Amino acid sequence: MTFVICLRLRPWLPLLKSKNNFKIMGGFFKSSIGRKVAMALSAFFLMFFLLQHLVINMLSVISPDAFNEVSHFMGTNPLVQFALQPVLIFAVVFHFVMGFVLELKNKKANGVSYAKNNGGANSTWMSRNMIYSGLVVLAFIVLHFIDFWIPEINTKYIVGDMTGLHNGEFRYYHELVEKFHSPLRVGAYVISFILLGLHLAHGFTSAFQSMGATAGRKKNLQLIGKAYSIIVPLGFIIIALFHHLTHNH
Amino acid sequence: MNLTLKIWRQKDSNAKGQMVDYKVTDISEHMSFLEMMDVLNEQLVNSGEEPVAFDHDCREGICGMCSMYINGEAHGPDRGITTCQLHMRMFKDGDTITIEPFRAAAFPVIKDLVVDRTSFERIQQAGGYISVNTSGNTQDANSIPISKHAADEAMDAATCIGCGACVATCKNSSAMLFVGAKVSQYALLPQGQVEAADRVQNMVAQMDLEGFGNCTNTGACEVECPKGISLDNIARMNRELMKATIK
Amino acid sequence: MALDSRVPKGPIKDKWTDYKNKIDLVNPANKRHIDIIVVGTGLAGGSAAATLAELGYNVKAFAYQDSPRRAHSIAAQGGINAAKNYQGDGDSTYRLFYDTVKGGDYRSREANVYRLAEVSTNIIDQCVAQGVPFARDYGGLLDNRSFGGVLVSRTFYAKGQTGQQLLLGAYSAMNRQIARGKIEMFNRHEMLDVVKVDGKARGIIARNLITGEVERHSAHAVVVATGGYGNVYFLSTNAMGSNVTAAWKIHKKGAYFANPCYTQIHPTCIPRSGDYQSKLTLMSESLRNDGRIWVPKSLDDVKAIREGSKKPTDLSEDERDYYLERRYPAFGNLVPRDVASRAAKERCDAGYGVNATGEAVYLDFAAAIERYGKEQAKIQNISNASDAKIYELGQAIVEAKYGNLFQMYEKIVDQNPYKTPMMIYPAVHYTMGGVWVDYNLMTTVPGLYCIGEANFSDHGANRLGASALMQGLADGYFVLPYTIGDYLSDDIRTGKISTDTKEFEEAEKEVKAKIDFFVTNKGTKSVDYFHKKLGKVMWDKCGMSRNEKGLKEAMVEIKAIREEFWKEVSVPGSASEMNPELEKAGRVADFLELGELFAKDALTRNESCGGHFREESAEESGPQKGEAKRNDKDYAFVSAWEYKGEPADAVLHKEELEFKDIELKQRSYK
């Protein structure tokens, strides 16, 4: 898959700095298709991020020590912190803002709505409701930020404690386990991940279609997309449930 | 069979429309959907009412004129056909059938079920052609061999009848299947290469100007398209546009 | 007025070239000052509009649909002929010319047909350059198929949608000119009259079908390309909106109408299923390449099939009558359309029709599926292939060739034509007759041109398959754009034509008066009521075979229907809005006049030729017994009718047909 991404990405690298060739509209990324491409590009980044996030979190199930090590590395490595993290934040914000902008534009293109519309006859629920699954994921991200990201930033950059230690031990694993005590939170996580799965079920192949990938690869792509949209959210759900069930006080 | 029809009635483009109920009786299952509409209209004319205006012409599924949204689907519940080829055997006695015009901001209603699709015309005028004079003084038709595969694929794209079912079906009222089909036809043929970059940019720009929505790849258009135009054409258009932009 | 066909002198091979060399031209700077109106945007009108605009004229194009792409040329399925001889099977310009004249039963104008055959090859070159995706073979070169009435393979095709692809080609050429501002396109407009100033055509009156507004449009010349009048029969393979109005209006303003009785009844259409039927659907003639036509030999089997106790597939080879192969061994299932249609009617009249209405014969693909299957098995080195495997392989080939037609059949009839033979019956399809034009394609009104199916010129009394597309594009791309210059070269100093003249005013008043009549008339019957009534008379008495008694009755009956129409027609709604019933009323009013002239023309022509079969004129003995008998001594002429008020009073003008390059023979396909 990475190979496919690279192959497809290569020709567009110069695109970011290319001069606008459009005669009527103001540039590639202002055109409808350009926006699709932008959505797809941010989606690719987010999907890659999700995958690595899952791998690291999985370590918490297998080996708390390894999880602590990697978390500390990610949390203190300047490249991750000051290069990748801003890109990630940008990608998240961009993907959501663009998603809303497109939704609004599309609503406007719709005109009068049908008295009777049988959308289920020709498309999947997921594909028609990306905005709703996306909103749930957005709500989740807010919760997730409050849970992890804000305390983390507070500890590291406001309090100024870059040691990653608490009572002489790495704090990461402990903090993770702590959060999964509440069944409410775990429930919210599980629901959010199901919605994320639905979002990905359409989003994965959709991103490739937007980037121009067609028939020859389509069957394999759909298979990979299905696998990805099930495995990744399921992995996160397993992690949440694992810690919730194994660390009952 | 006897049916109840819920039909969108709207006097003209400025008027406010509404759904109106009608009853038709003794409909044969061998009738086409439009013949059933003829029966209704004959009934209305005989009782001095204005018949329901709807677009139709060839009644064999190729002119692309007929354009009804029937029971929540463009061209009705059957696949691979236009409304004129839909037959009443798809319905049951006692059914209620909802009939609406194709909806999209870029397809304003003219009257009842008739919509204005000239936005499609302007997209075609923006670049849906190969700039060759019709003098007949071109080179011999067999001087450029074209692989059967490419010719067949171009033909598949070229079978689009411009009915607008893709737009009507799309939750975003996107015209990308229509535009993608035309872009693809020429992109697949050597004759179309010379203007390929300008063509795709101009057609996409015009499509955006007309107020069509964005494609979110739901694939509904492909399912409802009476000619089975493939989504691959949209992907090809995306590629063509990217190629054109970095050229 | 004497008819002058303006055919240039000289040997037939050189006429067109010499003529083009000597014709008056308009210089490019002057073309900008000349306006041309093109009514109708099918293959002929669309290609003419595009080419004239390319040349530099200002074109105003009119179509009653919402786009030029909807014109009924789009429905042509099978293909387009051209004398390319890519197959190396001995084709040539002369042979295409010969086949077309013979196929037309020697009732067309030689010089026009030769020109048509000459430019046919340019059409293919042109269309390929425009991006028309014609079918190709594995070497990447263009593929051909064969069509009825000829012995070579010269038909180019794009699946079963050749007309669509050619029309979209012409449409794309138009779009290019619309974008350049050289064509002003008037969609959803219907021409309701032509305006003559000092005897010349100088404009039209058109109704905007959205707003109902009646508009005046002026030009230095008017081109009518509005197709045929098959809908005079109510049921035909034409589009619902196809009409004779533009052609009929110009006829009433002085253009002679030629050979109205020459109608093509196409042999392979889906049979009628009931009284509600609104139109008939054609199955391409190309199906006769592989399909075999038959009815049962015994009437008992016919009865059993109609009752449903037997299926067609139950009948053995011996129990089937492949009547075309029996009667015409040389051409078999590929005889010309008129011959195939009459043969189907003959069998059905004799009681052998295979559906409930008794009006259907079988078109069977089982043999073709088996043949292709065996061929494929050999190609794929499958030895001892089972019957099922052979069937599967063969079906794939048939599907690749005719898939869309088979699908269409199945959707309409609800039977699978791969498994059971198709049922077909002849239906009105094309009209060879039309507005009389000279070699320049100009009517008897100066500055008024008529092209495509709307004119009469190239197909004589019967059109061969895949020739309509050829003629439409030839007229529009390669003939009219030259010949019209000859006329317009006198108009370079005329300047813009004003629409504020009494001629425009009068024409507009007349049009408005008729519209007002319709919307205010307190009638009791719908327009369709009259149209169906007319259609029945036409089909029964002016259909596949005609006789004196029937034609005389038809004239009386049509007149009576017309009189009732003007009293009893009811049109709801108003004139100042979109009003489809009003549109139909105007069209049916014209059909009701044309129908009578049609019958009169058929009555006058007491011979059988092509699509016109007079029962009084059939071979009485010999091997050709029962076949059509032409009478060259008395009827080798074009009947051009001049309007004189009532259709019955129309005056006949004869254009004698001379055959210098082809020997007149009885058309034998035995």
Q: What is the pLDDT of residues C57-114, one digit of tens each?
A: 999 999 999 999 999 999 998 899 999 999 999 999 999 999 999 999 999 999 999 9
Q: Do chains A and C touch (3 or more CB pairs under 8 A)?
A: no
CB atoms inside a 10 Å sphere around CB C181: 9
User: Of A105, A113, A116, which has the smallest distance from its Cβ to B71's Cβ?
Assistant: A116
**Which residues, numbered 55 to 114 in chain B, qualify as contacts with chain A under a Cβ-Cβ cut-off of 8 Å?**
69, 71-73, 77, 98, 100, 103-109
Residue A154 in tokens: 């507070």
- Give the mutation candidate from A33, A107, A114 for the B interface (greatest B CB count, under 10 A): A33
Chain A contacts in chain B segment 156-215 (CB below 8 A): 169, 171-174, 176, 197, 201-202, 204-209, 211-215
C-alpha closest to that of C105 among C459, C610, C607, C546: C610
| Cα within 13 Å of Cα(B120), Cβ side | 34
Window 159-188 of C, Cβ < 8 Å to B: 159, 161, 164-165, 168, 171-173, 175-176, 178-179, 185, 187
Which chain C residue has the Cα nearest residue B56? C240
DSSP code for B192:
G
Judged by a CB distance cut-off of 8 A, whether residue C266 touches chain B is no
Question: How many CB atoms lie under 10 A from the CB of residue A27?
Answer: 13
**Beta bridge partners of residue C442, listed in sequence order:** C449
Tally the residues of chain C: 670
Distances (CA, A) of C365 to C153, C315, C332, C380, C576: 20, 14, 15, 22, 53
Among B78, B131, B134, whose Cβ lies nearest the Cβ of C47? B134
Tokens for B179? 């535009």
Residue C669 to residue A110: CA distance in whole angstroms:
60
E strand or H helix at C545:
none
The alpha-helical segments, DSSP class H, found in C199-310 are: 245-252, 299-307
DSSP at A84: I
Q: What is the pLDDT of residue A18?
A: 39
Instruction: Kindly determine whether residue A24 and residue B219, on different chains, have CB atoms separated by under 8 Å.
Output: no
Q: Which residues of chain C have pLDDT under 50?
A: none
| Dihedral sign for Cα atoms in the order C22, C24, C29, C31 | negative
* Mean pLDDT (whole number) for A143-170: 90
Chain B residues near residue A134 by CB distance under 8 angstroms: none
Residue A77 has pLDDT above 60, yes or no: yes
Q: Say if the Cβ atoms of B59 and C129 lie within 8 Å.
A: no
Q: What mean pLDDT value characterizes chain B? A: 96
Percent of chain C with pLDDT over 90: 90
Do residue C128 and residue B31 have CB atoms under 8 angstroms apart? Answer: no
In angstroms, the CA B112 to CA B40 distance is 14
Residues C481 and C44 sit within 8 Å (Cβ to Cβ): no
C131 near B CB under 8 A: yes
Phi, psi of C477, deg, nearest 5: -85, -40
Q: Give the H/E segment covering residue C113.
A: helix C110-129
Counting Cβ atoms within 10 Å, is residue C308 exposed (0-12), middle (13-18) or buried (19+)? exposed
SS3 A91: helix
Chain A to chain B Cβ contacts (< 8 Å): 172
Q: How far apart are CA A186 and CA C495, in angstroms?
A: 84
Does this complex have an ipTM over 0.95? yes
* pLDDT at residue C1 in the model: 63
Q: How far is A239 from chain B (nearest CA, A)?
A: 31
Q: What is the pLDDT of residue A1?
A: 34
Listed as own residue / partner, the contacts of A49-53 with beta carbons closer than 8 Å and 24 or more positions apart are: A49/A88, A49/A91, A50/A232, A51/A228, A51/A232
Say how far apart CA C670 and CA C662 lie, in whole Å. Answer: 20
Would the pLDDT of A24 be above 50? Answer: no
For residues C433 and C258, the answer to whether their CB atoms sit within 8 Å is yes
Chain-chain contact of B42 with C526 (C-beta, under 8 angstroms):
yes
User: C-chain residues within 8 Å CB-CB of B110?
Assistant: 210, 578
Q: Is the pLDDT of residue A11 over 70?
A: no
Those chains having 3 or more beta-carbon pairs within 8 angstroms of chain B are A, C
Residue A12 has pLDDT above 80, yes or no: no
Q: Do A108 and B105 touch (CB under 8 A)?
A: yes
* DSSP one-letter code for B70: E
C572 interaction partners in chain B (CB closer than 8 Å): 44-45, 48-51
Report whether pLDDT(A17) > 50: no
Residue pair C267/C338 in contact (Cβ under 8 Å)? The answer is no
Test B72 with A121 for CB contact under 8 angstroms.
yes
Using the CB atoms, write b or e for B220-230: b if 16+ within 10 Å: bbbbbbbbebb
Q: Which residues pair with C136 in a beta bridge?
A: C142
Q: Predicted confidence band at A30 (pLDDT cuts at 50, 70, 90)? A: confident
Q: Do C133 and B151 touch (CB under 8 A)?
A: yes
Residue C476: in which H helix or E strand, if any?
none
The identity of residue A181, as a single letter, is H
Enumerate residues 6+ apart whose C-beta is below 8 A from A191: A136
Contact: C408, B60; criterion CB under 8 Å = yes
Query: Do residue B174 and residue A108 have CB atoms under 8 angstroms apart?
Result: no
Residue of B nearest to A98 (CA): B214
Contact C70/B35, CB-based, under 8 Å?
no
For residue A36, the SS3 value is helix
**C185:B55 CB<8 A:** no
Q: With beta carbons less than 8 A apart as the criterion, state whether B146 and C140 touch.
A: yes
Taking the model in full, what pTM does it have? Answer: 0.94
- Cα(C360)–Cα(C348) distance, rounded to whole angstroms? 7
- What is the nearest CA distance from B236 to chain A, expressed in angstroms? 6
- The CA distance from A114 to B99, in Å, is 10
B205: nearest CB among A11, A24, A215? A24
Name the residue type at position B193.
Answer: Q
C with B: 3 or more CB pairs under 8 Å? yes
**Chain B CB contacts of A206 below 8 Å:** 216-217
Q: How many CB pairs under 8 A join B and C?
A: 221
Tokens of C287: 């199906």
Whether B83 has a pLDDT exceeding 90, the answer reads: yes
Spell out which residues of chain B touch residue C74, defining contact as CB-CB under 8 Å: 58, 62-63, 161
Query: With an 8 Å Cβ cutoff, are C411 and B78 in contact?
Result: yes
Cα distance between the two ends of chain B: 61
Closest-CA distance of chain B to residue A9, Å:
11
Give the pLDDT band (50/70/90) at residue B138.
Answer: confident
Q: Which of B214, B221, B234 to mutate to test the interface with A (most CBs of A within 10 A)?
A: B214
Please say whether the beta carbons of C100 and C432 come within 8 A: no
**Cα nearest neighbour of A27 on chain B:** B245
Query: Using the beta-carbon criterion (under 8 Å), do B58 and C65 form an inter-chain contact?
Result: no
Mean pLDDT within A182-211: 95
Q: How far is CA A123 from the centre of its chain?
A: 23
Give chain B positions within 8 Å (CB) of A106: 171-174, 213-214, 216
Q: Nearest 5°: CA angle at C281, between B169 and B33?
A: 40
Which residues from chain B sit within 8 angstroms of residue C178, using beta carbons?
A: 121, 125
Residue B8: count other Cβ atoms within 10 Å of its Cβ: 22
Would the pLDDT of A14 be above 70?
A: no
Taking contacts as CB-CB distances below 8 angstroms, the residues of chain B near A130 are 216
Q: pLDDT grade, residue A133 (50/70/90)?
A: very high
A143-149 average pLDDT score: 91
Tell me the two tokens of residue A161: 């404690």
C neighbours by CB contacts (3+ pairs under 8 Å):
B
CA C459/CA C610 separation, integer angstroms:
10
Task: Using the CB atoms, write b or e for C516-549: b if 16+ within 10 Å.
Answer: eebbebebebbbbbbbbbbbebbbebbbbbbbee
What is the end-to-end Cα distance of chain A in Å, rounded? 43
Contact of C123 with chain B, judged by CB distance below 8 Å, is answered with yes
Helix axis angle for A183-210 and B232-246, nearest 10°, is 70
Q: What angle do CA A183, A187, A189 make, to 5 degrees?
A: 120
Q: Under 8 Å CB-to-CB from C469, ≥6 apart: which residues?
A: C43, C73, C76, C79, C80, C162, C163, C166
